[in-house]
Amino acid sequence: MIDASTSPVRIEFHDGVALVLIDNPPVNATSRAVRAGLLEAVHSARTNVAVKALVIACEGRTFVAGGDIREFGKPPLEPLLPDVCDAIETSAKPVVAALHGTALGGGFEIALACHARVMNNDARIGLPEVKLGLIPGAGGTQRLPRLAGMRAALDIIASGRQVKAAEAVSLGIADCVAEGDLRGEAIAVARSLVGAPLRRIGELATPDFDAKAIEAARGVIEKKARGQISPVKAGEIAMLAATLPLRQGLARERAMFVELMGGGQSRALRHAFFAEREASRVPGLENAAPRAFESIGVVGAGTMGAGVAIALADAGLRVTVVETGAAALEAGRARVRSAYERQTKSGRIDESQSAERQARMAFAEGLEALSSCDLVIEAVFEDMAVKQALFRRLGLIAKSSAVLATNTSYLDVNAIAAASGRARDVIGLHFFAPANIMRLLEIARGADSSADAVATGLALAKRLGKIPVVCGVCDGFIGNRILAAFRAQAEFALEDGALPHEVDAAMEAFGFPMGPFAVSDLSGLDIAWARRKRLEPSRDPQTRYASRVADRLCAMGRLGQKTGAGWYRYESGERIVDPVVTKLIEDVSAEFAIKRAPIDAETIQRNIRAAIVNEGAKILAERVASRALDIDMAMIHGFGYPPWRGGPMFEADEIGLPLVLKDVEAVALSCGRGWEPAPLLVDLARSNQTFGATV
């Protein structure tokens, strides 16, 4: 018997209809108590003659958003969700789900076990299990194909995407959208079902199963998954709904769910889920209150400035974009306009949304236009003198409560802050291009940045829907600094015996969306070249130099896709391995007396992973990052590190590297022991040997 006073499930009676209300903040996850309460409610309705029908609804912000992720990986406690769903579906009295917020995972599976579904206009349904390395485990893979057809079900299950109410109705997933009072309308639907034969989804046959189309769908899922297991398995199990009776399909689903739950990919994705949320809770800033912001200034309307302005306007903020001259301002305006045109053309937003967002933007010449802004973000040319001059003026023009942010990628935030004369108001806000799409936002905390200025950066990230990673000041912060170590290792591989397409293939097989050389061609080789030339005088001659081949490519004018050639040659958009580059690489190896030998994909991956993890360890030891999870988030959300691996530091932890570095103290300890040799580190030491004699 459930104790009604403590159960998160209670029942209200509405003239023959039992309204079963789940109240388990924050997202009504199906904890054991919720499962038990629901089961009890269905059982008690069975014997209560006064109850003719049931409605399941939720209190708070959302319908059930799924299983309780904090319980995952622990021994499951009865009653299990599939049994609860079974009791709902087989109930002789109609059960209707009243959906608001996000009915996800186990929550949507409860709804699929009901005999009808009523949705609020702004509600969404979805099966996000694949994003946690799982497949739906309470009937989702077997009921959704029976209800919506195989094609739609495969798309929803394998992508994990959320489906809006209108689409849910058009796919037959929801019976109707409530026009006003959701619970009242669901109760009315429940009453209308009393006495009629009930539609049990589990008893339906799966429509539109075309073997050829399904085979094609399987190929698409596999390609998109890029090494992630769960979408492929979810697709395979869902396909069984076409041929197996419900019971057998459910048994196969459950077995796969349990298997994946115990696997490394699910553990990694759970780590990523919680790390994404933990990233914004920065130790030491718990009590810092962000400054208020509504109106934001952006200095510079180049690619980055325009992208930042779009991200801000998209989030409902007022933006003033400033440029130095009329021509640059007009170019910026055109850049923004064409970005919105692309978005309306692709159907991402409609014309009225586009107009509304652009109406929030003002364009002005001269910094004076920013005097009333709450926050100013600088995105001008990457040059210290230019930035210092700008901050000197901003320090005088911006109102005293304004936060001043630099979007520098590499320059010293402290030197920029000092120029402003009000360093406590200055932080780094490092966006990644395209700034309106990429989720990572590095927030650099200068030596004198005040806690409330940093907290303002965190609040901005939340408003923009970005993942904030707070870091200290160093060359390249977290992301670009690790990227430099990654790139260097990739370039060593070329001199040692590999070719660009082999390195790219190895890293794509690892799970990156694109290999490092293809990315470099896409973004252009010139920026890194300029930086190398700038740093040349301070380069340590004892350390092996990585970019001899890159330097020569740049000198030849091969700057990447924009010049038709870089690490590859491009013909009508196609990437082609270029014998000229192969010869150049072989010449460099010979010139520096490096004996070339084939390098297999696994070795390439291992060396690059070692470089990433070691740089991450140094970043922790120097306190540039305060937690390993910040490094994982930077790599996943800024650089395409496969999320199903959990990030480089999580992986190092999983495979038991001794440098495993939950926090700075642990690193310091590990450093104190002199970095015990571990396979990855040993490998790195070998491939990172110095070439003092030949340089």
Q: Which stretch in 131-139, 290-298, 423-431, 560-568 sits in contact with ligand T1G by CB under 6 A?
A: 131-139
Candidates 116, 118, 138, 173: give the one binding ligand T1G (CB under 6 A). Answer: 138
Binding-site member from 94, 128, 395, 476 for ligand T1G (CB under 6 A):
128
**Window 270-309: residues binding ligand T1G (CB under 6 A):** 277
Q: Least distance from C-beta 373 to ligand T1G, angstroms?
A: 27
In the complex, minimum distance from the CB of residue 579 to ligand T1G, in angstroms, rounded to a whole number = 49
Report CA Rg, the chain. Answer: 28
Q: Which is nearer to ligand T1G, 104 or 319 (CB)?
A: 104
**Among residue numbers 191 through 210, which ones bind ligand T1G (CB under 6 A)?**
none
For CA atoms 496, 497, 498, 500, give the dihedral sign: positive
Q: Which of 19, 27, 41, 652 binds ligand T1G (CB under 6 A)?
A: 27
Residue 65 interacting with ligand T1G (CB under 6 A): yes
Contact present, 255 and 240 (Cβ < 8 Å): no
With H, G, I as helix, E, B as strand and everything else as coil, classify residue 531. helix
For residues 389 and 378, the answer to whether their CB atoms sit within 8 Å is: no
Residue 589 DSSP one-character state: H
Total residues contacting ligand T1G by CB under 6 A comes to 25
Candidates 133-141, 363-371, 380-388, 507-515; binding stretch for ligand T1G (CB under 6 A): 133-141
390 near ligand T1G, judged by CB under 6 A: no
Binds ligand T1G by CB under 6 A, chosen from 8, 105, 332, 472: 105
Q: Looking at the DSSP assignment, which residues form a beta bridge with residue 321?
A: 298, 363
CA distance 186 to 589: 73
The reply to whether 132 sits near ligand T1G by the rule CB under 6 A is yes
Sequence-ordered list of residues with C-beta below 8 angstroms from that of 427, at least 6 positions apart, any chain:
403, 404, 405, 406, 413, 443, 444, 445, 446, 449, 453, 454, 456, 457
Q: Report in angstroms how near the CB of residue 308 gets to ligand T1G at its nearest.
A: 22
Interacting residue with ligand T1G among 137, 202, 472, 476 (CB under 6 A): 137
Q: Which lies closer to ligand T1G via its Cβ, residue 131 or residue 360? A: 131
Residues 41-60 that bind ligand T1G (CB under 6 A): none
| Using rule CB under 6 A, residue 29 touches ligand T1G | yes
Indicate whether 106 belongs to the interface with ligand T1G (CB under 6 A): yes
Write down the residue that tokens 């996943």 correspond to: 636
The torsion angles phi and psi of 283, rounded to 5 degrees, stand at: -55, 135
Window 5 to 24, contacts with ligand T1G (CB under 6 A): none
Tell which one of 43, 70, 224, 534 touches ligand T1G (CB under 6 A).
70
How far apart (Å, rounded) are the C-alpha atoms in residues 46 and 40? Answer: 10
Residue selected from 7, 102, 266, 688 as contacting ligand T1G according to rule CB under 6 A: 102
Q: Using an 8 Å Cβ cutoff, are 547 and 695 in contact?
A: no
Instruction: Show the CA angle centred on residue 437, arms to residues 432 and 439, nearest 5°.
Output: 65
String of contacts with ligand T1G for each residue 426-455, x by CB under 6 A: ------------------------------
Amino acid identity, position 429: L
**Residue 68 binds ligand T1G, judged by CB under 6 A:** yes
Residues 6+ apart with CB under 8 A from 530: none
Instruction: Select from 40, 86, 89, 129 the one that contacts ligand T1G (CB under 6 A).
Output: 129
The string of DSSP letters for 220-250 reads HHHHHHTT-HHHHHHHHHHHGGGTS-HHHHH
104 binds ligand T1G (CB under 6 A): yes
- Residue placing its CB nearer to ligand T1G in the complex, 160 or 446: 160
Residue 440: enclosing H or E segment and its boundaries?
Answer: strand 440-444
- Give residues with Cβ within 8 angstroms of 550, minimum separation 6: 491, 520, 525, 528, 529, 532
Pick between residue 109 and residue 323 the one whose CB is nearest to ligand T1G.
109
Instruction: Please identify, among the stretches 67-75, 205-213, 397-405, 524-532, the one whose residues bind ligand T1G according to the rule CB under 6 A.
Output: 67-75
Determine the residue type at 192. Answer: S
By CB under 6 A, is residue 560 in contact with ligand T1G?
Answer: no
Pick out residues in 140-159 that bind ligand T1G (CB under 6 A).
140
Phi-psi region of 20 (alpha: psi -120 to 50; beta: other; left: phi over 0): beta
Contacts of ligand T1G in 486-505 (CB under 6 A): none
- CA dist 678 to 556, 652, 655, Å? 41, 10, 10
Name the residues that contact ligand T1G, by CB under 6 A.
26-27, 29, 62, 65-70, 81, 102, 104-106, 109, 128-129, 132, 134, 136-138, 140, 277
